[in-house]
Amino acid sequence: MSIGRRGFARLAAGVVAAPFAAPLADALAPGAARAAGPEPQLNDDGLYEQPFFLHSFLDLGEDLAMAAENGKRFAVMWELKGCPYCRETHFVNFADPAIRDFVAGNFEILQLNLIGAREVVDFDGEALEERALARRWGIRFTPTIMFFPEHPEAAAGRPGDQAEVARMPGYFKPPHFLAMFRFVREKAYERGDFRSYLKSTAG
């Protein structure tokens, strides 16, 4: 069961985002506690990049197959230069060792640029620039993380927005951020939606 665009349709109106979002000023305030770890680096597109992010030939079917061979799940993270919540994801969420270690140990993450020009091959074989692929998949804001099926054959021949099993649309606070990755790793989307999962794991 996907929690993609339909499940979070109200996000743009601010109905869903509020419970998950943390005040940016508080999270990035001088002196805020941050766990030690590798610092993200700016790449040529001006995006912060984690050391464990996937570098590939941008053939998504091959990337998913490789992740499956390594016993990991595959996700695509959409970002944009200058996006404050993208920066917060890197310097707050991924700075938490529990989050960083779980994500790096269980996921292959491919970073894509919302306005980028690199050619990406979708799961159905269509080759598009990043910005065209973002439009095709309905990416409207950053960061957005899309999660894909465990097995490559479940995505083969389908565009990514039809193949995804879950979507994280916008910034989530660290506890919800980690919970989403656990939701996917545990295949809890097969049993219900993310909100139900949060309720079942609360406390």
The predicted pLDDT at position 15 comes to 28
Look at the chain and report how many structural domains it folds into: 1
Mean pLDDT in residue range 52-75: 98
Average pLDDT, the chain: 86
pLDDT above 60 (res 51): yes
Q: Residue 143, preceding bond cis, omega within 30 degrees?
A: yes
Kindly report the CATH number assigned to the domain that includes residue 61.
Answer: 3.40.30.10
The answer to whether the Cα torsion of 14, 20, 21, 22 is positive or negative is positive
Let me know the angle formed at the C-alpha of 178 by 144 and 121, rounded to the nearest 5 degrees: 35
The predicted pLDDT at position 39 comes to 87
Mean pLDDT in residue range 149-174: 98
Q: Is residue 190 part of a domain?
A: yes
Q: Is residue 58 part of a domain?
A: yes
Mean pLDDT in residue range 112-134: 98
* Structural domain of 185: 40-201
The predicted pLDDT at position 11 comes to 34
Q: Is residue 12 part of a domain?
A: no
- Which pair of structure tokens corresponds to residue 33? 């506690």
Q: Is residue 1 part of a domain?
A: no
Q: Is residue 147 part of a domain?
A: yes
pLDDT above 80 (res 21): no
Q: Is residue 141 part of a domain?
A: yes
- Which pair of structure tokens corresponds to residue 139? 């990416």
Q: Is residue 64 part of a domain?
A: yes
Q: Is residue 193 part of a domain?
A: yes
Q: How many CB atoms lie within 10 A of CB 127?
A: 12
